[in-house]
Amino acid sequence: MAKQKGSGSVQNRPIYSRLSYLYQAAAHLGSASNDQKIDATTKQALEDGAHSTASQTQKSESHVKQAMARNLLKELRAISHKTQIRISPAIKHTICKSCDTLLVEGDTCTSTVENKSKGGKKPWADVLVVKCKTCGGVKRFPVQAPRQKRRPHREAKAQEEQHQTMVQGENLEAMVQDKQPRAMVQGEQTQAMDTNDG
C-alpha cells in the first residue's frame, strides 16, 4: 500500500525550496557586496600605500557579486514562470523587474514617497516610488491602499453576495405575502365584528 499523504503536505515542495534557496543566496551575495569589510590583504595593501588598487579590487568584487546575485534572481524568475508558481509579493517588491537586481535601500535603489494630489492634501494618494540605480527602472506602490484579492476570490465573493441578496429578497417577498392575508383576515374580522355590533 502507498503512504497516505498528510493534511499538511505541500505540493511541489522541492521547487519551493529551490526558489527559497535562490532568493536567500542572492540576498546573501547582495549583502556581501555591501559589506565594507577589509580583509587582511586589503589592510596590507593600504599599509603599503596601494590604496587605489585595493579600492579597485573591492569595487570589482562587489560588481562580480552583484552580477552573480542578478543571475540567481534571473534563474528564480525563470523557474517560477516555467513551473507556474507565484512568487510572493514581498519578494517581488525586492527584485527589479527590468534588470533582476536585488533592490537594497540606499545601495541599489532609492525610495521616495510621492503625493501628486493638489498640494499633497490627500493622504490616501501617497505612493512609494522605488528607483533602481542599475537600470533606472521605477516601481510604484500605494502606501495605505489594501491589496486587492485575486480574481477568483473576488468573483466567488461577488456571487456569494448576489446569492445572499436574492435570498433576502425572497424572504422579504414571503414576509410581504404573509402579511397581506393576515391583514385581509384581520380586515374581514373587523368588518364581521362591525356587522355584529350594528
Hey, how many other C-beta atoms are within 10 angstroms of the C-beta on 36? 6
CA gap 126, 115 in Å, rounded: 5
The enclosing H or E element of 114 equals: strand 109-115
Positions in the chain short of pLDDT 70 = 1-7, 33-55, 176, 178-198
| DSSP state at residue 120 | G
pLDDT at position 16 is 94
Q: Where are the alpha helices (DSSP H) in the chain?
A: 13-34, 40-48, 51-83, 89-92, 151-197
pLDDT at position 9 is 80
User: Sheet containing 126-132: which strands, arranged edge to edge?
Assistant: 109-115, 126-132, 138-142
pLDDT at position 130 is 95
pLDDT at position 37 is 47
pLDDT at position 189 is 59
